[in-house]
Structure 1
Amino acid sequence: MRLRGVRGSRNVEDRRGQRRRGGGIQIGGLGLVALLAIGYFTGIDVTPLLQQQGGGQVNAPQEISAEEQRAAEFSSRVLATTEDVWSKVFPQQVGQPYRPPVLVLYSGVTQSPCGGASGATGPFYCPADNKAYLDTQFFETLSRGLGARGDFAAAYVIAHEVAHHVQNELGILPRVNQMRQRVSREESNALTVRLELQADCLSGVWARAVQGLLEPGDLREALNAARMIGDDHLQRRAGRVPQPHTFTHGTSDQRERWFERGYSSGDMNRCDTFGARQL
């Protein structure tokens, strides 16, 4: 992905080097070890230490490696592309102004109103504070641990979490959460799958809008990432027989198909997973 010359976002909160704990509801993007579904956690009363960054430049705290700093700068620029895309697409297709989320960068662990965040939980979006949370070391896990290599695979992860914010702006997240509270666990999982696949589709809408920044092979990287983090693939990788009733993010085929649907159309209306008979 060609990001040289692309501005850095001002909506970055840098907590790297800080260690926190917490509890609440998370909207996950990748489905790692089944920890990235919407989950409920017990809150721990800890006052968060926030370090708000401005000006689009992510300054490295002490003891931050050069690799982590590159990941932070990359994340800031990718976030800026989502701001540019959705600030244009959202008003055009929804008729409302777009309010971008904040991206929280952290190392190790941190706190959010939606629960404690760590490298084990992976990236997630918290609707309680309109922030996406990302451990900058996760990109290494994505590439080496999950086999989703390439910078555009990493960009897709950020775009997916921003897509959850788009869902929140549309009022979809609170409606789905209310529905989940009234149904069985299996039905709740099925609703979450539709939520996650819609975010994949919206990520495809973003990818279509940044075609001018793509390099040969970038789209293939994103599709491979979607496939590597499908519920069925992750369960097989863990040595288990896939159990569809436990899925919370969708199969590899579904995730890839819905991303392609958003990419090929560029139309948010084509991302109606809740109205789709077949996923």
Structure 2
Amino acid sequence: MDRVRVTRKQQVAEDVVALRLEHPRGQRLPDWTPGAHIDLVLPNGVTRQYSLCGDRWDAHSYRIAVLREPDGRGGSVQVHDELIEGAEVSIGGPRNNFSLVPSPAHLFIAGGIGITPILPMLAAAERLGSRWRLLYGGRRRASMAFLDELTDRRVVVAPQDETGLLDLPDPGADCAVYCCGPEPLLEAAERRYGPGLRTERFAAKSAGAVDDRPFRVELARSGSSVTVGPDVSVLEAVRGAGASVLSSCTQGLCGTCETAVLAGEPEHRDSILDDSERERGDCMFPCVSRARTDRLVLDL
């Protein structure tokens, strides 16, 4: 992991602060692509994931924005109340589960803090010569971050207290659709646009009906095996068997614990893989996913 310093902390909307992060000795930070996120390791050891929303071509600083969630798991409150300019923290990544694909046209849909991964995508789409549009919703204007940076005529700002719920438009032909925001917006977009929609979630998607029966996991590299019971995750079980697997969110959101599947059929419960990736069955996120077969062989 890299150490970075908080060199600026700025209120950018109601309950939203933006942090600028730089290397303590002014060195370059790892490159990233639009849609990427980092793991932010807070002083109390809590790790949270935040999308990079700054200038992709600035090699010496990152920008993230954090929504204060009083009823959340405590990370955002610590960022707002305790993390000050000059503080040093550790970061992991960047990683990208929401990458921008070239397309003749792009439709971007953001709800609230979901604007963060989409901001750098707009600049990238412009460089690609894409016909892009952005629909940006929120509770009210005061709660919507970075409005001062979104003055292009192709941006539609639609606060709910002024316009009601977002009216999801027809994307047109040859258009890639990206959506990030709260779960009700993502579910509406999935119904509207179908499996071709690309989404980024900040909370785990409900897995629906699941199978929690025990199964065996074999670790191909070590030759050991372990039974995964109904109340234990694959991640916990393989770590108990001696496998070293990095993890961060433990909710199937960040992608840190991605593991190759060599045999057996995983039951995917993550919020990362698309339908075609799930059908291939060659990887899984052991923090949340399980098995449809009695046996899984993992590349561990």
Structure-2-length-normalised TM-score:
0.27
Q: Which has the higher contact order (CA 8 A, sep 6+)?
A: 1
- Higher helix proportion, which one? 1
Structure-1-length-normalised TM-score:
0.29
- Higher strand proportion, which one? 2
